[in-house]
């Protein structure tokens, strides 16, 4: 590329980066600036008045801390369940040719064509009976239904990427199937499985509808923010939004190498 | 190894059972629930739903949003993907920045844009500095439906273009460079190469991106709530209100079934519209 | 050390039969190559021996023990894979010692064996490295060392050299031969490369369509192929075949009379490109040269005898040009006759 075209190209790339980054920067300003920053007119564009106080104030509101803990519990459980259930299924899809494999694959893909979170509606009734209503555990079950198909497909693509020959070599040199899996397949798949787990965490952490429907007092952070949205002052809303964003952004950074392994499979 | 016939079934069984309990059962229940009214089995919930003041508005708003947001996202993601193809230095950093919204929830995205668009927000400050407005101006209330709509579109494009981008970049990486180079040697200009080589080969990725995005776009709800509260009714939002505030699970379920039918129809539409012949696959 | 008996092994994938009751006996310490084109069933047979593939029927005996129903790890053998299958998350040392570790051998035994195998394959300098830092040839050495370190009764090799470049392949071939002779391990070696099979094996089992069509020492497979398929598959250039007619127990070919295995009828005469001498046209079988390729060590001539395409190896200094017709005189001791209908070799005595 030459002169003016190159300039145009670079400008385009920088503009698009700003398009993503500037709004995040501004909500950070809004959430650390507290009440005065929200109503300041016109606004400061640099963090002159930012302090931790505003954020700490927000965290001390009754319910916020509890909601954050609930979110972490629900997301942690979702992560564990979806990997424990999804990874074996992924291994089966990757390594075995079995009758019904395609039917299972179809079921997994079918979940994508449905707005899964909405299915939490009828579950409230059963959950109340079973004592699962208004618990992070109950929320995590529904979130696992969201993350599990994803985990199965992602781990399947990870396992496909590990040559079968490596496993066969382990068998020939004296490993049982289980030993070969733990000594050869698992160490090689682990980073990818961890990435899939993190993604399951993010799916749960971000989910709003099911979490709102299935909880009253033991809110997750998203559910809490949604319910207090209309009555809480703006700077609290911004602080909440910012707290929601931070872990997700860090996680995406941690799994950036695996983004394509994960979403590439969706075209299969 | 001697293929144990039962092993794969044992491996998928837990996932199968789980999806059975938390996908198939609630699916059936939602449908049942939507037909159960105070006077027994019937269409009562549906007539209540259709008769509601917000219903027509919710349908209109949801479709308008989907039809505006999806083309914008696909166009933007394609442009970003092609830019990444051309990039050498800094590609990883740019890609990371562009995929950050992948981890941002719709609620958070709504709050981000609320920070920008509220009366004394940053966009107004900018417009004020440029002399375009005279003071704090509201954009997001029921008297400004057009700007509220634009705000939702902005937030949705900001948040959910990343997923389309990742799927498309994944697809672009699968297309061998030689195809484009061959076309170039035979005299195809960049635009021709894009429309005649890249786009057709990208069809499977486009298809899955569109299916995923369309289904999620019909679920849009938290962004709208964060920005405009109930000033801008959408389908899933109405389901939430009926369940939450009116405590009427039947009508909520009717909304859920409606959203499901629309999602399924959209999926089938994309499957047909962007079908690749098996023999023409790369 | 142990011999192997393959007893009527059959394998079918659905309706497709990949192996048709193959039987083969391999003596203790013998090196047998399974040679054939892709899809002939050679790899399937090897994998059945290893226990990586199920059989439909038949038995596999190793050292007299029926291992047919044993898992791979119970069979006590070693294998070298086509793509090396060197574990990327282990050092070379751990890779080579893997089999011994699985056998729960004491540390000092493992150490001794690993060092010995590493010395044999000249990979001592890399023992602490990870495979990602090694070249293809070095990884191949690690794979072989890993197999030899367990001092297996039987060593199975699946196209182990096919991923190496030509020069490296030549070098590894010679080295494999010397290392394996020293170890005296019973070896089954799958390859589609006939020069590899010829160079390495004590006996070659040529496979075609799920069957062993000939099993014999390399020289015999080369000069006395059991069928037109073997003659055409083994050797470069492949054996030439021309249709001939037997009359009164002999075949007349432009000035040459050769004894035929049958009194009369159609036959196919096979001869190697190097088993001919050029003669003036008219005095011998007329051969019309279409292309002459100087290969350095020899001159490769491609042309026709009648309708049959024939390739002939002439001395490098021969002066033959494309378009010319020359005479070919066959070495009567080096020709084979095949049945024109079945393509199977017919014995001169019969």
DSSP assignment of A47-96 equals -TT--HHHHHHHHTSTTHHHHHHHHHHHHHHHHHHHHHHHHHHHHHHHH-
Give the burial class of C177: count Cβ atoms within 10 A of its Cβ; 0-12 exposed, 13-18 middle, 19 or more buried: middle
How many other C-beta atoms can be found within 10 angstroms of the C-beta atom of residue B113? Answer: 27
- C256 and C111 inside one domain: no
Quote the CA–CA distance of A224 and A218 in Å, as a whole number.
9
Flag if A174 and C73 touch (Cβ within 8 Å). yes
**Residue A50 pLDDT more than 90?**
no
The pLDDT-based confidence of C238 (bands split at 50, 70, 90) is very high
- Which residues constitute the domain of residue A209? 54-262
Instruction: Inform me whether the pLDDT recorded for B278 exceeds 70.
Output: no
Residue B99 near residue B166 (C-beta atoms within 8 A): yes
Contact call for C52 and A163, based on CB within 8 A = no
Tell whether C170 and C312 lie within a shared domain. no
Q: Are strands C154-158 and C77-80 parallel, antiparallel or unpaired?
A: parallel
Chain B residues touching C69 at Cβ < 8 A: 2
Regarding whether A168 and A145 lie in a shared domain, the answer is yes
The answer to whether residue C215 is domain-embedded is yes
Residue A261 has pLDDT above 70, yes or no: no
Kindly tell me if the per-residue pLDDT of B3 is higher than 70. Answer: no
Kind and range of the H or E element at B32? helix B25-35
Which among A210, A185, A108, A99 has a CA at the least distance from the CA of A151?
A108
The predicted-structure confidence for A10-32, as pLDDT tens digits, reads as follows 899 999 999 999 999 888 888 88
How many structural domains are present in chain A?
2
A169 inside 8 A of chain C by CB: yes
Q: Which of A16, A238, A247 sits opposite B111 (nearest CB)?
A: A238
For residues C143 and C68, what is the distance between their CA atoms, to the nearest angstrom? 25
In this predicted model, what pLDDT tens digit does every residue of B109-142 receive, in sequence order? Answer: 999 998 888 887 888 888 888 878 877 778 887 7
Q: Please indicate, yes or no, whether residues A86 and A127 belong to a single structural domain of this protein.
A: yes
A212, part of any domain: yes
How many residues in total does chain A contain? 268
Residues A35 and A79 in one domain: no
Residues C185-198: tens digit of each pLDDT: 999 999 999 999 99
Residues C155 and C293 in one domain: no
What contacts B261, CB < 8 A, 6 or more positions away?
Answer: none
Taking CB atoms and an 8 Å cutoff, what residues of chain C touch A171? 51-52, 71-73
The mean pLDDT of C144-154, rounded to a whole number, is: 91
Whether residue C345 lies inside any domain: the answer is no
The pLDDT value given to residue B78: 93
Task: Look at residue A267 and tell me if it is in a domain.
Answer: no
Looking only at the bridges linking them, the beta strands covering B40-41 and B36-37 are antiparallel
Say yes or no for a CB contact (<8 Å) between A163 and C83. Answer: yes
The per-residue pLDDT for range C83-97, each reduced to its tens digit, is: 889 999 999 999 999
- CB proximity A45 to C under 8 Å: no
Domain containing A140 — which CATH number? 1.10.3720.10
Final residue of a domain: which of C229, C262, C294? C229
ipTM score of complex: 0.85
Distance from CA of B12 to the nearest CA of C (A): 23
Q: What is the pTM of this model?
A: 0.83
Residues 6+ apart with CB under 8 A from C327: C254, C255, C278, C279, C280, C281, C282, C283, C284, C285, C286, C287
A63 and A42, same structural domain? Answer: no
* C54 near A CB under 8 A: no
Q: What was the pLDDT predicted at C349? A: 43
Residues 6+ apart with CB under 8 A from C174: C199
Same domain, yes or no, for C93 and C179?
yes
Give yes or no: residues C182 and C280 share one domain.
Answer: no
> Do A174 and A133 reside in the same domain of the chain?
yes
CATH of the domain at C42: 3.40.50.300
Distance from the C55 Cα atom to the nearest Cα atom in chain B, whole angstroms: 9
Q: Tell me which residue range forms the domain holding C217.
A: 4-229
Is residue A268 domain-resident?
Answer: no
Q: What is the pLDDT of residues B143-158, one digit of tens each?
A: 788 889 999 999 999 9
Residues on chain A touching C50 (C-beta within 8 angstroms): 168, 172
Q: Which of B173-187, C131-145, C329-343 has the least mean pLDDT? A: B173-187
In chain C, the number of structural domains is 2
pLDDT tier, B182 (very low <50, low <70, confident <90, very high otherwise): confident
CB contact under 8 A, A165 and C85: yes
Residues C38 and C172 in one domain: yes
Which chain B residue is nearest to residue C51, measuring alpha carbons? B1
Identify whether the C-beta of residue B208 lies closer than 8 Å to the C-beta of residue B275. Answer: no
Domain ranges of chain B: 64-230
Domain match, C35 and C59 both: yes
Position A124 scores a pLDDT of 84
Instruction: Please tell me whether residues A123 and A250 are part of one structural domain.
Output: yes
Does C344 map to a domain? Answer: no
Considering only the beta carbons, identify the residue of A166, A173, A187 that sits closest to C102.
Answer: A173
Q: To the nearest whole angstrom, how far is the Cα of C38 from the nearest Cα of chain A?
A: 18
Question: Is the CB of residue C93 less than 8 Å from the CB of residue C127?
Answer: yes
Q: Please tell me whether residues C214 and C241 are part of one structural domain.
A: no
Residues of chain A in contact with residue B97, where contact means CB-CB under 8 angstroms, are 17, 20-21
Closest Cα in chain B, distance from residue C72 (Å): 7
Cβ–Cβ below 8 Å for C81 and A168:
yes
Tokens of A78: 């979702």
3-state secondary structure C35-95: ECCCCCCHHHHHHHHHCCCCCCEEEEEECCEECCCCCHHHCCEEEEECCECCCCCCCHHHH
Q: Categorize the per-residue pLDDT at B33 as very low, low, confident or very high, splitting at 50, 70 and 90.
A: confident
For C201-217, write each residue's pLDDT tens digit.
999 999 999 999 999 99
Q: Residue C34 pLDDT more than 90?
A: yes
Burial of C93 (0-12, 13-18, 19+ CB in 10 A): buried
Query: Of the candidates B32, B122, B204, which has its C-beta nearest A43's C-beta?
Result: B122
Residue A180 and residue A79 share a domain: yes
Q: Could you give phi then psi for residue C263, rounded to 5 degrees?
A: -65, -45
Distance CA B207, CA B167 (A): 10
Q: C196 and C179 in one domain? A: yes
Contact C82 A165 (CB under 8 A): yes
Say yes or no: A77 and A155 in one domain. Answer: yes
Residue C82 sits in the same domain as residue C12: yes
Residues 6+ positions from A256 with CB-CB distance below 8 Å: B92, B95, B96, B99
Are residue A125 and residue A149 in the same domain, yes or no?
Answer: yes
Helix (H, G, I), strand (E, B) or coil at A101: helix
Q: Are residues A65 and A112 in the same domain?
A: yes
Regarding whether C47 and C184 lie in a shared domain, the answer is: yes
pLDDT, residue A204, reads: 93
Quickly name the fold that domain B64-230 has: MetI-like fold (1.10.3720)
């Amino acid at each position: 590329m030459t002169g003016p075209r190159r300039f145009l190209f670079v400008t385009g790339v920088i503009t698009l980066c700003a398009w993503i980054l500037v709004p995040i920067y501004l909500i950070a300003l809004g959430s650390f600036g507290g009440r005065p920053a929200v109503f300041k007119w016109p606004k400061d564009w640099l963090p002159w008045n930012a302090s931790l106080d505003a954020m700490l104030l927000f965290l001390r509101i009754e319910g916020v801390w509890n909601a954050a803990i609930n979110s972490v519990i629900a997301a942690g459980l979702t992560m564990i369940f979806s990997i424990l259930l999804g990874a074996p299924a992924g291994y089966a899809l990757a390594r075995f040719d079995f009758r019904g494999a395609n039917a299972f694959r179809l079921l997994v893909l079918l979940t994508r064509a449905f707005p899964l979170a909405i299915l939490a509606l009828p579950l409230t009734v059963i959950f109340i009976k079973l004592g699962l209503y208004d618990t992070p555990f109950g929320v995590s079950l529904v979130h696992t239904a969201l993350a599990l198909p994803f985990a199965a497909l992602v781990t399947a693509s990870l396992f496909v990427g590990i040559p079968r020959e490596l496993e066969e070599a382990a068998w020939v040199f004296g490993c049982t199937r289980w030993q070969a899996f733990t000594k050869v397949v698992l160490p090689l798949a682990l980073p990818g499985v961890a990435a899939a787990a993190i993604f399951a965490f993010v799916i749960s952490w971000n989910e709003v509808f099911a979490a709102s429907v299935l909880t009253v007092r033991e809110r997750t952070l998203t559910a809490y923010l949604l319910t207090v949205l209309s009555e809480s002052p703006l700077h609290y809303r911004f602080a909440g939004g910012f707290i929601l964003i931070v872990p997700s952004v860090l996680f995406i950074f941690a799994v950036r190498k695996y983004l394509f392994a994960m979403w590439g499979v969706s075209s299969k | 190894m001697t293929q144990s016939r039962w092993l794969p079934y044992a491996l998928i069984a837990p996932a199968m059972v789980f999806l059975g309990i938390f996908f198939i059962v609630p699916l059936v229940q939602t449908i049942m629930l939507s037909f159960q009214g105070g006077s027994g089995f019937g269409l009562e919930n549906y007539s209540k739903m259709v008769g509601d003041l917000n219903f027509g508005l919710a349908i209109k708003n949801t479709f308008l949003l989907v039809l505006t947001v999806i083309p914008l996202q696909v166009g933007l993601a394609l442009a970003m993907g092609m830019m990444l193809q051309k990039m050498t230095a800094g590609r990883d950093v740019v890609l990371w920045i562009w995929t950050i919204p992948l981890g941002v929830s719709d609620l958070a995205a709504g709050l981000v844009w609320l920070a920008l668009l509220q009366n004394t927000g940053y966009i107004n400050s900018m417009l004020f500095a440029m002399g375009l407005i005279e003071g704090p101006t509201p954009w997001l209330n029921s008297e400004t439906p057009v700007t509220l709509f634009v705000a939702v579109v902005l937030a949705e494009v900001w948040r959910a273009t990343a997923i389309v981008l990742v799927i498309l970049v994944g697809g672009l990486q699968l297309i061998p460079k030689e195809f484009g180079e061959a076309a170039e040697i035979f005299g195809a200009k960049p635009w021709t190469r894009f429309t005649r080589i890249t786009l057709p080969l990208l069809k499977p990725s486009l298809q899955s991106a569109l299916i995923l995005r369309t289904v999620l776009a019909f679920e849009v709800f938290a962004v709208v709530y964060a920005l405009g509260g109930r000033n801008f009714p959408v389908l899933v939002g109405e389901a939430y209100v009926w369940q939450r505030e009116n405590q009427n699970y039947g009508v909520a379920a009717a909304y859920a079934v409606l959203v499901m039918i629309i999602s399924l129809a959209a999926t089938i539409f994309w499957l047909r519209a962007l079908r690749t012949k098996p023999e023409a696959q790369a | 050390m142990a011999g192997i008996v393959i007893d009527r092994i059959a394998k079918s994938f659905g309706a497709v039969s990949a192996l048709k009751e193959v039987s083969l006996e391999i003596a203790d310490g013998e090196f047998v190559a399974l040679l054939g084109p892709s899809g002939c069933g050679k790899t399937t047979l090897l994998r059945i021996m290893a226990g990586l593939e199920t059989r439909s029927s038949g038995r596999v005996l190793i050292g007299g023990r029926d291992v047919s129903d044993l898992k791979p790890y119970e069979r006590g053998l070693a294998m070298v894979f086509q793509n090396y299958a060197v574990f990327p998350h282990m050092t070379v040392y751990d890779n080579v010692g893997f089999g011994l570790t699985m056998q729960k051998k004491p540390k000092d035994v493992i150490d001794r064996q690993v060092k010995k195998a590493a010395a044999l394959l000249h990979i001592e300098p890399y023992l602490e490295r990870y495979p990602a830092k090694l070249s293809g040839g070095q990884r191949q050495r690690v794979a072989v060392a890993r197999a030899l370190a367990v001092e297996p009764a039987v060593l199975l090799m699946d196209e182990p050299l096919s991923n190496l470049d030509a020069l490296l392949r030549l070098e590894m071939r010679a080295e494999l031969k010397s290392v394996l002779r020293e170890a005296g391990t019973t070896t089954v070696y799958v390859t589609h490369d006939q020069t590899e099979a010829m160079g390495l094996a004590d006996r070659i089992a040529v496979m075609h369509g799920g069957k062993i069509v000939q099993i014999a020492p390399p020289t015999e497979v080369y000069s006395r192929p059991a069928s037109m398929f073997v003659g055409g598959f083994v050797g470069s250039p492949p054996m030439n075949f021309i249709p001939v007619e037997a009359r009164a127990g002999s075949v007349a070919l432009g000035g040459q009379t050769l004894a035929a295995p049958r009194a009369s009828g159609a036959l196919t005469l096979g001869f190697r490109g190097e088993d001919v001498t050029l003669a003036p046209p008219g005095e011998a079988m007329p051969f019309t040269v279409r292309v002459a390729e100087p290969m350095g060590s020899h001159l490769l001539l491609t042309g026709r005898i009648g309708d049959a395409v024939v390739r002939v190896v002439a001395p490098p200094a021969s002066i033959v040009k494309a378009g010319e017709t020359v005479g070919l005189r066959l070495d009567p001791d080096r020709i084979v006759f095949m049945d024109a209908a079945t393509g199977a070799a017919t014995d001169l005595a019969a």
